[in-house]
Structure 1
Amino acid sequence: MTKMQSINNLIQQRKETRLVESHNDLVPYVSTIHAKHSTDPTGELSFAITATDTDEPKKAQAATQEPSNQIRQERSVEVNHSVAAEIVHRFKMPQYPGLGRWVLVEKLGSGAFSNVYRARDSRTEFGEVAIKILRSFQMDSYQRAKILNEVQIMRNIDHPNIVKLIDFVESQQFCYIILELCTGGELLPQIVRLTYFSEDLSKHVIVQVAKAIEYLHETSGVVHRDIKPENILFLPAPFTPSKNPKPQQPGDEDKEDEGEFTSNFGSGGIGEIKIADFGLSKVIWDTRTGTPCGTVGYTAPEIVKDEQYSKGVDMWAMGCVLYTLLCGFPPFCDESIQILTKKIACGQFIFLSPWWDHISKPARDLVSHLLVVDPKKRYNIKEFMEHPWICRADEETIITAEVPLLAQLHGQMSQTYPQPLKDVVVDQAPCQPVSAHILSVPSTS
């Protein structure tokens, strides 16, 4: 093999390797520098970053340049490393037809028929967004109807505590739902991280959820039907370490510092709250429906009993979420889905000791008014917003007589109740039944 053939083979190998190497191994493009082969003392070919032939007369001058010029050159190389890294990253992103102005940046998650990406607007109008890419060619008519229903509902919604729909694009094989990006992600991992939320942070979260629900119920006539921590997103907030940490409660050994709470801003890095995922939502106004749907652990009794229901199912779900925020595990959980549904149907929950011992009576009373089996006696959104714990009023509160006696007492831990969320990791949900949907695709009726 001739020397020239050896050089050509090495160049070809280098080109192929560069397609899969990380950006740290890439040679940056700089106008006065290029990759040039040379021969080392052993006679083996190697590659080095060298000056071009036209720069030879300038070598002496370059040797006497000031250090600041050398720093600028190093920074130039660093910048070009970043450019090269971005180019390589783009090649790794899949190419979808019909995306147009949206440039995929990072994959955030995936589902049975979809992938979710962080993307940016090439026109710079919206900055970064989240794009839900659905493989419509794999869907049946019911699943497609569900997507179109979700988009139609979101088009008519505009509230600061609800993820905003930016655009909806269809191609022959894919549907693209372009959404407001919530950089904090889902609330569930934050509950796991912090073990449970303080009353201040719990109130900060649930009040914003309630404002979104109030808007949906009173302004849009929409029932969400799937309120749960996985569908509550947030924007990050500045974190300030606690100045006077509170004494540890049972199970606090691994609890991270929630930090100082700032009114209207939050704590624990959790700021503005936004509810998402309207795939199970429905416009009902003051009518009732009977379509079974939702996530079992947060599903209202009237749904598990296959009865007609209305907006009260969202209030029940809010009660489950508030309970979970305050103590770190959900009110209804069991390994057996049959036992779980019976507990829900009877409203059988308990303020477990010692996990609820440090939680104020008004907070417990509010939860009790939300987890009422009879939807007619359950708090509506107006009553929720007027409760003293929400209004920070000093009025006396009482536990509702509608909940079972078991819930009115501090109970002892039993084997049927879950450990805190951080000790139970099943499909990113508190326990197996919680992540099981009664019906993943509701009818469109």
Structure 2
Amino acid sequence: MQRPGELLQSVPKRRKPLLINRQSKDQLDTSAAQSQRPSQKHLSSRLISQASFRLGNAPGPLCSSPSFSPHQLSGSVTAIRELTLSCISKFSPTPPAQPDEAGRLLTTDSSGVTQILIIKLNEKPWSLGRNQQADLTIDKPTVSNWHCKLYAIECDTGERIVCLEDLSTNGIRYNDRPVRKKAVILSDGDRVEIAGQVFSYTHSSPPGNCQGSPSTSDIPVEFKPTIVGKYQITERVLGSGFFSVVHLAINQETGAQLACKIIKRQAGLRQSVRELKKFQQVVQQEVKLNASLDHPNINKIIALKQAKEKIYIFLELVTGGDLFGYVNRNKRLEENEAKFISYQLILALQYMHDQKQISHRDIKPENILLAHHGPDPRVLLADFGAARLADKAFCSMQGTMSYAAPEVLTVYTRPQGYDGKKADVWSLGVCIYTMICGFHPFDNGTLESAEAERRDICKILKYNIESTEVQFVKSVLKPTTKDEAVNCMIGGGYKEARSVLRKMFESDPRARISASEILEHHWIANSRDELEKKYHKRVVCQK
């Protein structure tokens, strides 16, 4: 598979930005007097391309809205921007905002031509670089063939974010700070510099400009930029959960972006002092366990700050969305890509289970984040709110029902409890199945229909371990044995994948394969050399 920069070379036709000839004020006035309708000979019929996908609410999902710029533009940059916009309005009608528009990047080259890149949802990324096939060619020796790319994604709140990902050797400057081999989220008024050429960004809000998701969060929508320690928390919302909202934050010392998960201590409930103390202990335990983990495929907590009413958890920022959205957008993944993603997750589980004795207990596509946009992404396991030390059997039901192992769903009738590590393997098996097939193994409909069904806990399941049958209720999640589920896989092939999934879907957890044993199964073992090379190139070198 190709790297993101290499992938851009396969674009058959160069897409052009909107071009506006820049003239002096006198020329503009003369042009305006001579003709009320300006020439449009430089307008390109095709504006852009881009790719997008919904973000889930993993450590609290990713995504956002625009109004706060962490770095205010200098007066000279503001003047340039105003002049550019004035020029556009006088010389050529500014294209009206479209429903799928996420933002615009403006630049004026040395010849006085202003170029506008309109970034939209559901279109492939803008490519910028020295290559003549790039959407915007910057013909300078210090610019890489494929220097960077721009793309938009949509979060679970309906807000949009535009990401700029550097692919180059020399990097870019973002608000006067160097960025290399990373992606940044653009905010209204941001300034980007590539080999001396300056770009300014203008964010486009979606209709309604909703800032939050009241139905899924008890955190108030109103939020003012806040300083917590060395971190500046912006009002840009990246996602929301039941008791938390994730905001874009900035390390004021380094300028690095990160995600900040804000948890309200009372979480919208009237809790006793004892309950609040217990809730605080749970959050601290999540942070402690996560902080003990150091793996390229685990979304690491960077810092924890506590205030009187809120808890702030700062996490590594990822800009590619979650696995749920990625699979849903692509319908299903090719087996090789699904295997590479699975390989990363198996390595993460092996590390957690064997070295740290930790069980995640809520593995699902929404809790698997993509570090960057494009095929064969680096993935990160996130949201350790249910994670616990797995040194003894668990006796409580945790996780998401439609991804939970049978022994988890029947824990209250199993006095011996269950092995959290083996339960993680079952959940990962469901994720692997949905990547390859595009639907849940025990689902009559789409991935989205299974997601809707799993929200109603009362509709989920009874389990008969003697018949090795996992029984779900009603139309969406159906009574299915493991063999029936695996035999329904698309295309009639996938012999090795079927084999490993049967072992992951063993109804008796004692007979179920472990994470380490999956690595030895021929589905992985036969491709191990190729997977390790790709892992080094796509994960280790880009971390």
Could you tell me whether the CA contact under 8 Å between 1:196 and 1:326 is conserved in 2? yes
- Describe the shift of the 1:172–1:379 C-alpha distance in structure 2 as closer, same or farther (beyond 3 A): same
Could you tell me whether the CA contact under 8 Å between 1:293 and 1:303 is conserved in 2? yes
Could you tell me whether the CA contact under 8 Å between 1:199 and 1:359 is conserved in 2? no
Aligned to 1:315: 425
Q: Which of 383, 407, 414 matches 1:277?
A: 383
Aligned to 2:241: 111
Aligned to 1:295: 400
Aligned to 2:136: none
Matches within 5 A, 1:39-50: none
Q: Return the letter of the residue paired with 1:158.
A: D
Partners of 2:497 and 2:240 lie apart in 1 by 36
Shift of 1:74: 12
Could you tell me whether the CA contact under 8 Å between 1:105 and 1:120 is conserved in 2? no
Partners of 1:305 and 1:22 lie apart in 2 by 48
Aligned to 2:346: 210
1:360 and 2:494 equivalent? Answer: yes
Could you tell me whether the CA contact under 8 Å between 2:264 and 2:310 is conserved in 1? yes
Aligned to 1:166: 302
Aligned to 2:5: none
Query: Which shows bigger deviation, 223-232 or 304-313?
Result: 304-313
Partners of 1:122 and 1:233 lie apart in 2 by 25
Could you tell me whether the CA contact under 8 Å between 2:225 and 2:233 is conserved in 1? no
Could you tell me whether the CA contact under 8 Å between 1:108 and 1:117 is conserved in 2? yes
- Structure 1, gaps ≥5 residues long: 1-19, 35-66, 239-268, 395-445
- Describe the shift of the 1:295–1:33 C-alpha distance in structure 2 as closer, same or farther (beyond 3 A): closer
Partners of 2:510 and 2:355 lie apart in 1 by 21
Kindly provide the CA deviation profile for residues 4-39 of structure 1, in whole angstroms up to 9, marking residues without a partner as x.
xxxxxxxxxxxxxxxx9999xxx99459989xxxxx
Aligned to 1:370: 504
Partners of 1:385 and 1:197 lie apart in 2 by 20
Q: Which of 382, 386, 409 matches 2:520?
A: 386
User: Which structure carries more strand by proportion?
Assistant: 2
Q: Return the letter of the residue paired with 2:408.
A: I
Q: Return the letter of the residue paired with 1:132.
A: K
Identity %: 28
Partners of 1:295 and 1:105 lie apart in 2 by 30
Could you tell me whether the CA contact under 8 Å between 2:238 and 2:248 is conserved in 1? yes
- Describe the shift of the 1:342–1:121 C-alpha distance in structure 2 as closer, same or farther (beyond 3 A): same
SS in 2 for 1:177: strand
Q: Return the letter of the residue paired with 1:282.
A: R
Could you tell me whether the CA contact under 8 Å between 1:232 and 1:275 is conserved in 2? yes
Q: Return the letter of the residue paired with 1:381.
A: A
Could you tell me whether the CA contact under 8 Å between 2:225 and 2:232 is conserved in 1? no
Q: Which of 148, 153, 177 matches 2:289?
A: 153
Kindly provide the CA deviation profile for residues 260-299 of structure 1, in whole angstroms up to 9, marking residues without a partner as x.
xxxxxxxxx34111100000000123x2121211100011
Partners of 1:179 and 1:28 lie apart in 2 by 30
Could you tell me whether the CA contact under 8 Å between 1:237 and 1:270 is conserved in 2? no
Q: Which of 423, 434, 448 matches 1:324?
A: 434
Matches within 5 A, 1:338-353: 340-342=460-462, 346-347=469-470, 348-349=481-482, 350-351=484-485
Shift of 1:86: 8.6
Partners of 1:382 and 1:233 lie apart in 2 by 22
Q: Which of 252, 260, 276 matches 1:131?
A: 260
Q: Return the letter of the residue paired with 1:320.
A: V
Q: Return the letter of the residue paired with 2:397.
A: P
Q: CA RMSD in A?
A: 4.1
Q: TM-score, normalised by structure 2?
A: 0.50
Partners of 2:109 and 2:428 lie apart in 1 by 60
- Describe the shift of the 1:372–1:98 C-alpha distance in structure 2 as closer, same or farther (beyond 3 A): same
Aligned to 1:185: 321
Partners of 1:68 and 1:209 lie apart in 2 by 45
Shift of 1:169: 0.8
Partners of 2:314 and 2:68 lie apart in 1 by 30
Partners of 1:292 and 1:300 lie apart in 2 by 10
Q: Return the letter of the residue paired with 2:390.
A: I
Partners of 1:210 and 1:237 lie apart in 2 by 21
- Structure 2, gaps ≥5 residues long: 1-65, 81-107, 117-174, 176-187, 192-199, 206-221, 270-275, 444-449, 471-480, 529-543
SS in 2 for 1:271: coil
Could you tell me whether the CA contact under 8 Å between 1:99 and 1:176 is conserved in 2? no
User: Which structure carries more helix by proportion?
Assistant: 1
Could you tell me whether the CA contact under 8 Å between 1:300 and 1:344 is conserved in 2? no
Shift of 1:230: 0.4
Partners of 2:79 and 2:523 lie apart in 1 by 67
Shift of 1:72: 11
Q: TM-score, normalised by structure 1?
A: 0.60
Could you tell me whether the CA contact under 8 Å between 2:486 and 2:498 is conserved in 1? no
- Describe the shift of the 1:284–1:28 C-alpha distance in structure 2 as closer, same or farther (beyond 3 A): closer
Partners of 1:73 and 1:385 lie apart in 2 by 53
Partners of 1:393 and 1:33 lie apart in 2 by 56
Q: Which of 61, 74, 95 matches 2:225?
A: 95
